[in-house]
Amino acid sequence: MRPKIYLFGDSITEYSFAEGGWGAALTNHFSRRVDVVLRGFSGYNTRWALKVIDKAFPPASAAGSGGDEAEAEAPLAVTVFFGANDACLPDQYGAFQHVPVDEYKQNLRSIFSFFKRRWPKTHVVLITPPPIDEAARLLNPYGEIKLGLPERTNEAAGSYAMACVSVASECQTPAIDLWTKMQQIPGWQTAFLCDGLHLTERGNRIVFEEVVAKFEEQGLRLETLPADFPLFTDIDPNDPLKAFET
Amino acid sequence: MRPKIYLFGDSITEYSFAEGGWGAALTNHFSRRVDVVLRGFSGYNTRWALKVIDKAFPPASAAGSGGDEAEAEAPLAVTVFFGANDACLPDQYGAFQHVPVDEYKQNLRSIFSFFKRRWPKTHVVLITPPPIDEAARLLNPYGEIKLGLPERTNEAAGSYAMACVSVASECQTPAIDLWTKMQQIPGWQTAFLCDGLHLTERGNRIVFEEVVAKFEEQGLRLETLPADFPLFTDIDPNDPLKAFET
């Protein structure tokens, strides 16, 4: 059977199959080679993610541990994309989603360890939260604006992004620093974000490109992943059925 | 674990996660409830589909046959979307993809029986090939144009569409008659088709809407499919962790 890549995260992952979404683009990119599986949980922070992680992913193997079957069922990779909700300010309407940055780091370590314990060879890529456009957040609130302040700030998101990069480095696993990457482009506030937090099609495009690039660094590239059955270009017009002989 | 819906077909299925694609839209629609799994094989006809079908889908159950585990692993539904390649004319450059319409019918019956044998309760939805815009095919050929004729005609696609609807009726399984549906809209040639054969974003939208409607007729609707973990709206801001107690 075809190998899998899991996308684990919050709404920025859950919405990644909407118009122009990065999850859909990954599925299209890996069609015939990999099944991209959506495990996005809108609104979740890392604390809640840890409450569901054990049941959100299949066990290492139905047959037991460590055998060939377990190897076969391990996903190629998992993206871990949390932090946008953890970084909600603790004194605004998103306070119940807030997770202190030290706990966020500890939770990311636990998520990383969970995957490595279950599937030692699976590539785990951490993705930082995107930057926040505070003006747009004030225009698109989910709750009551207090004292004219947004529920998320770019500075807070930045400290969670730094924390994420630091955990990745500590765990010797790759990270995509979306917070920094996006802010390198003038006009990032509206080019990449549609409501100051979620992604536009261009924002989705960046995530897609960064994830593909990071996978390629890990050796997960189209050229080396087998297609699961003859590609159209491998079929001889003069003897089409030959390609299907085993 | 989350139930699955498989999309089985040719390029119109394989490309369904590209920009605006109907497969991505289905994944987005069913996020948190169902895993939509892509099994699209560009260029394939039903004859070739039957060569790969057994290995393209998981066995009924690792543990044996008929037990609860088999039940749990059966997908909710499969879409079967072939015919556009079978309908290639037998005397133009797509001749090696051509499958006579009687064999096409027999092959569709075999595909249907395969799924029903493996998973008796799985809904199988047949989708007819779309109409063909012959003028656009002449402008977008994959091979040598002979005698000024395209490799596919709308009339030929129509007879395969009728054959598909007839097999569905015989098997008492739902069909989506895309060939007829699309031609009800004036300007269908460019509104729904980008090269006389493959779908534009509007064409993809129609397929998405028709598939969702057909699933709902079969009882596969968001309202009755459980979300796999607490939705954000189910989380009490005053006691968020309560939603995660089991």
Residue B235, by phi and psi: left (phi above 0), alpha (psi -120 to 50) or beta? beta
Q: Does residue A24 sit at the B interface (CB-CB below 8 Å)?
A: yes
Q: How many domains does chain B have?
A: 1
- ∠ CA B63-B67-B68, nearest 5°, is 105
Tokens of A3: 């190998």
Spatial separation of the C-alpha atoms in residues A13 and A80, rounded to whole Å = 9
| Residues of B whose CB is below 8 A from A42 | 32, 231-232
Q: Which percentage of chain B shows pLDDT scores above 90?
A: 90
Smallest CA-to-CA distance from B1 within A230, A6, A16 is with A6
A181 closest CA partner among A131, A137, A125, A132: A131
| B69 has a pLDDT exceeding 70 | no
Question: What pLDDT does A65 receive?
Answer: 44
Picking from B68, B93, B229, B245 by the largest number of A CB atoms within 10 A of its own CB, the best residue to mutate is B229
B182-235 pLDDT, tens digit per residue, is: 999 999 999 999 999 999 999 999 999 999 999 999 999 999 999 989 999 999
A147 and chain B in contact, CB less than 8 A: no
Chain B interface includes A48 (CB < 8 A): yes
Q: Does B83 touch chain A (CB under 8 A)?
A: no
Contacts of B108 (CB under 8 A, 6+ apart): B46, B80, B82, B126, B163, B164, B167
Residue A112: domain span? 4-244
Question: DSSP letter at A130?
Answer: P
How far B209 CA sits from the closest chain A CA (Å)? 15
d(CA B135, CA B226): 47
Taking an 8 Å cut-off on Cβ atoms, the answer to whether B31 and A14 are in contact is yes
- Tell whether B242 lies on the interface with A, counting CB pairs under 8 A: no
pLDDT digits (tens, 9 = 90+) for B82-136: 999 999 999 999 999 999 999 999 999 999 999 999 999 999 999 999 999 999 9
| B238 has a chain A CB within 8 A of its CB | yes
> Cα dist. B229→A50, A186, B31, B153, B232 in Å?
12, 39, 11, 48, 9
Give the pLDDT confidence score for residue B65 in this predicted structure.
44
B96–A238: do the CB atoms touch at under 8 Å? yes
Write the residue in B20, B51, B55 that is nearest to A19 by C-beta: B20
Q: How far does A229 lie from chain B, in Å, by closest CA?
A: 7
State the average pLDDT over residues B229-243: 96
Position A92, amino acid = Q
Residue B141 to residues B26, B92, B152, B154, Cα–Cα distance (Å) = 30, 11, 10, 15
Instruction: Report DSSP state, residue B37.
Output: E
ipTM of the complex: 0.95
> For residue A62, what pLDDT is reported?
56
Instruction: Mark which residues 58-77 of A lie under 8 Å from B by CB.
Output: 58, 62-63
CATH number at residue B50: 3.40.50.1110
The CA distance from A116 to A119, in Å, is: 5
Pairing state between β B77-81 and B175-176: unpaired
Span A162-206, pLDDT tens digits: 999 999 999 999 999 999 999 999 999 999 999 999 999 999 999
Q: pLDDT for B127-179, tens place per residue?
A: 999 999 999 999 999 899 988 899 999 999 999 999 999 999 999 999 999 99
Among candidate residues A24, A11, A51, A27, the one with its CA nearest the CA of residue B32: A11
d(CA A149, CA A151): 7
Cβ within 8 Å, pair B48-A238: no
By C-alpha distance, which of A82, A85, A66 is closest to A74? Answer: A66
And the tokens for A149?
A: 């302040």
Q: What angle do CA A231, A237, A240 make, to 5 degrees?
A: 65
CA distance B84 to A245: 24
The H or E element spanning position B45 is none
With CB atoms and an 8 Å threshold, state whether B244 touches A41. no
pLDDT at B62: 56
Tokens of A236: 């001889």
CA atoms within 13 A on the CB side of A2: 21
Please report residues of A whose CB lies closer than 8 A to that of B27. Answer: 17, 23-24, 27, 38
* Mutate which: B51, B68, B85, vs A, most A CBs within 10 A: B51
Whether the per-residue pLDDT at B68 is higher than 70: the answer is: no
Residue-level pLDDT, tens digit, chain A, 246 residues: 899 999 999 999 999 999 999 999 999 999 999 999 999 999 999 999 999 999 999 998 754 444 444 445 899 999 999 999 999 999 999 999 999 999 999 999 999 999 999 999 999 999 999 999 999 999 999 899 988 899 999 999 999 999 999 999 999 999 999 999 999 999 999 999 999 999 999 999 999 999 999 999 999 999 999 998 999 999 999 999 999 997
